[in-house]
């Protein structure tokens, strides 16, 4: 693993450990794993797979609509994840998220987080399938008639 990527992993872990709200987004299939560690007696920590949004303002607004009783977000981490979903576990980021959520809200969070992981894996595979079959994709060049012989 090169040092530049190692520094990124350290920054990601730091963000997960300290931010109230973590939005780990997957640009390749336009989904976000949203973790809101804030909680109250009636609002447990939030763990949800959501559509990706265009910017931080939209994400803050979506969280505000989902959790109006919790007030303003004090710290938000927006983390792009360009690797596979499985790499989250292989590189230790997943364990960091589990630890953070268990600390925030107890063992039931771990079960919900694992469900979200499986959903993300399914959605990533579906997007790979669409890319291979061309569903929803357009070619940027066409085969010339001479190449078809």
Window from 15-19, 28-32, 114-118, 131-135 with minimum mean pLDDT: 131-135
Q: What pLDDT is stored for residue 91 in this prediction?
A: 94
The verdict on residue 110 lying in a domain is yes
The pTM for the full model equals 0.86
Contacts of 15 (CB under 8 A, 6+ apart): 22, 77, 79
The verdict on residue 73 lying in a domain is yes
Positive or negative: CA dihedral 61, 29, 106, 9: negative
Window from 3-7, 52-56, 106-110, 138-142 with minimum mean pLDDT: 3-7
Residue owning tokens 């357009």: 138
The verdict on residue 146 lying in a domain is no
Contacts of 61 (CB under 8 A, 6+ apart): none
Q: What is the 3 state secondary structure string of 103-133? A: HHHCCHHHHHHHHHHHHHHHHHHHHHHHHHH
The verdict on residue 60 lying in a domain is yes
pLDDT, one tens digit per residue, over 55-66 is 999 999 999 999
Q: What is the DSSP string of 44-79?
A: PPEEEEEE--SSHHHHHHHHHHH-GGG---S-EEEE
**What range does the domain containing 103 cover?**
3-135
The verdict on residue 130 lying in a domain is yes
- Number of domains forming the structure of the chain: 1
Q: What pLDDT is stored for residue 2 in this prediction?
A: 43
Q: What pLDDT is stored for residue 137 in this prediction?
A: 82
Question: How many Cβ atoms are within 10 Å of 53's Cβ, its own excluded?
Answer: 18
Which tokens sit at 12? Answer: 């990601």
The verdict on residue 144 lying in a domain is no
Which tokens sit at 20? Answer: 């109230």
The verdict on residue 142 lying in a domain is no
The verdict on residue 19 lying in a domain is yes
pLDDT, one tens digit per residue, over 62-111 is 999 999 999 999 999 999 999 999 999 999 999 999 999 888 876 678 88
């Amino acid at each position: 693993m090169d040092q530049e990527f190692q520094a990124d992993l350290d920054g990601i872990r730091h963000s997960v450990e300290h931010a109230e709200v973590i939005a780990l987004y997957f640009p390749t299939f336009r989904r976000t794993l949203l973790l809101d560690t804030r909680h109250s007696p009636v609002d447990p920590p939030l763990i949800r797979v959501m559509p990706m949004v265009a910017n931080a303002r939209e994400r803050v607004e979506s969280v505000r609509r989902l959790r109006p009783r919790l007030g303003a977000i004090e710290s938000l981490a927006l983390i792009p994840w360009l690797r596979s979903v499985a790499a989250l576990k292989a590189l230790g980021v997943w364990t960091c998220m589990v630890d953070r959520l268990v600390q925030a809200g107890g063992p039931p969070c771990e079960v919900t987080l694992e469900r979200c992981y499986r959903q993300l894996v399914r959605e990533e595979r579906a997007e790979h399938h669409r890319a291979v079959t061309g569903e929803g994709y357009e070619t940027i060049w066409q085969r010339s008639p001479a190449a078809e012989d």
